[in-house]
Amino acid sequence: MASIKLAIVGAGPSSFYVASRLLSLLPQSSPHHDAIKIHMYDRLWAPHGLVRYGVAPDHPEVKNCTNKFDLTATDPRLRFFGNVNITTSASASPIAHNVSLPSSSLLHNYTHLLFSSGCTIPTLHAALPPSDRCIPALSLVHWYTQHPSVANKPPPPLESIEHVSLIGQGNVSLDVARMLLTPPSTLEKYDVPSNVLDVLKRSAVQHVSIIGRRGPLQAAFTTKELREMMNLEDAAMDPLDPTLLIPPAGEELTRQQKRTVQLLEKGSRNAPGTKPKSWSLDFFRSPTHLAPAPEDDQSAARPLTLTLAHTALSAEKRAVPTGATSSLRTSMVVTSLGHHGEPTPWYDSALGHVRTVGGRVVDEHGHTLRNVYASGWAAMGARGVLASTMMDAYAVADTILADAFPGEFRKDGNALESVVPQGRVSDAAEPVMAETVGSDEPPVEVQAGLNEGEVTDYEHWKLVDAEEVKRGVAIGKERERMGWDEARTFLSQAKGRR
């Protein structure tokens, strides 16, 4: 039996980067080559997490990392199990067709555990309770990427919405705005499901307001995303007050801030008023209230009034109210304020993610848990790009091997030391994982799901992947996605043809 039987919860980029690092550092020439087995679980039936279900469809280059993931998945020491929800409580999975696997089964069937499940819950705004007209940006992202959690939900009523107010000025806000303002004829060559394109073709959206509580020098979007907004073919940016772009006296701007100011000074390639659609960056505004439509007007087109407090920066660069307010007539409010993780036994609500030190999970008393780790957003919170995710994942993989083979594992000729953080001793905590396991196979629930076609493996995914690309090529686009029901039927028929 393998001395490391690792269960990874999540199958997004961080998970694959950890697996890739572990397997590459234990090559065929290593005495520990056969000492590791990795089982990767995800409640999504397809792998790659945010790369498939979060990256904007018109950013196909970001998805190139899946080529590396495909290569990693060819190693027989790694197995992927999709459509499996790891349950830690009696709460139901957000995906109805999931196979449930109790977390206790992982503790009994594996010697090591890695949480790499990301941050899947959107952070809401206290003044903007969710409703059918006030939704998190994640709902729209899940809709236009055909996320399994929205399979049976109606699409957004874009045919009745003229004005959208986005709260938050990060890249996700700009992604959503770009999807709403880009002509469907431009989007149709990308990985946009046909049913999503049909809704976008009926869209009545004319303006998108992108609202932030601080100024242009503090905005979270990147210059790349801003430049894409500036270059929209059928939309123009509303002009900014030039005084907003004057840096405070004595303040040295970063390279990105300088580029942001230059782009904003130049403005969009289309002059204001020359195109049918428009967008605006509304700086120094913070929502305080959303007035619903009158009771006698409950149509999808009913107007809303969004009240905004005017803000200014404090000496600490915090947004503070000035006392002034204004109102904005809008059709829908979309909040894009970040994300946090789902509660797990070692989730810290104050942090919004799993408690870790150096990649090792710690309990509420600060004791390091033996052979329990976390990586990516599950360990750091929802921040960073793929490059930072990769570097973090590699560091966690190194820690796993250093803990497993203390004093003997070598990398580049240098010993990796397993160092428990000062004041925290792993042996002080109750062991949570099995010391040894009797089989390299997955738990019986997972094996049963595989036999019944309810659990997918990577071979299944590659069959679906190839078919999606084939269908897309036939209609002149990147791919045509399948939902779970269609994928399951396709896989059943493919199995019957063998």
Report which residue type is found at 307. Answer: T
Q: Beta partners for 6?
A: 38, 112
Burial class (CB in 10 A: 0-12, 13-18, 19+), 42: buried
Q: Give the up-direction half-sphere exposure of residue 389: CA atoms within 13 A in the CB hemisphere.
A: 22
Structure tokens, 491: 């896989």
Q: What is the dihedral of CA 175, 176, 180, 184, to 10 degrees?
A: 50
Cα–Cα distances in angstroms (integers) from residue 249 to residues 217, 311, 316, in the given order: 13, 19, 15
Report which residue type is found at 134. Answer: C
| Distance, CA of 154 to CA of 48 (rounded, Å) | 25
SS3 of 201, please?
helix
Structure tokens, 86: 């790891």
SS3 of 345, please?
coil
Burial class (CB in 10 A: 0-12, 13-18, 19+), 296: exposed
Find out whether 146 is annotated in a ligand binding site. no
Find out whether 172 is annotated in a ligand binding site. yes
Find out whether 160 is annotated in a ligand binding site. no
Find out whether 4 is annotated in a ligand binding site. no
Instruction: Say how many C-beta atoms besides its own lie within 10 A of residue 109's C-beta.
Output: 22
Q: Beta partners for 328?
A: 306
Pairing of strands 277-282, 235-237: parallel
| Distance, CA of 450 to CA of 436 (rounded, Å) | 24
Q: Where are the alpha helices (DSSP H) in 293-418?
A: 377-380, 386-404
Report which residue type is found at 265. Answer: E
Find out whether 214 is annotated in a ligand binding site. yes
Beta carbons within 8 Å of 121's beta carbon, 6+ residues apart? 339, 340, 341, 342
Cβ atoms of 141 and 309 within 8 Å: the answer is no
Find out whether 422 is annotated in a ligand binding site. no
Find out whether 161 is annotated in a ligand binding site. no
Beta carbons within 8 Å of 314's beta carbon, 6+ residues apart? 320
Instruction: Identify how many contiguous H helices and E strands the chain contains and give both numbers.
Output: 15, 24
Q: Beta partners for 296?
A: none
Find out whether 225 is annotated in a ligand binding site. yes
Beta carbons within 8 Å of 312's beta carbon, 6+ residues apart? 284, 319, 320, 322
Beta carbons within 8 Å of 125's beta carbon, 6+ residues apart? 167, 287, 335, 337
Find out whether 424 is annotated in a ligand binding site. no
Find out whether 202 is annotated in a ligand binding site. no
Cβ atoms of 464 and 487 within 8 Å: the answer is yes
User: Among 87, 92, 52, 26, which residue's Cα sits nearest to residue 400?
Assistant: 26
What's the farthest any 2 CA atoms get from each other in the chain? 75
Which residues contribute to the annotated binding site?
Answer: 14, 50, 86, 169-172, 213-214, 225
Which residues contribute to the annotated binding site for FAD?
Answer: 14, 50, 86
Which residues contribute to the annotated binding site for NADP(+)?
Answer: 169-172, 213-214, 225
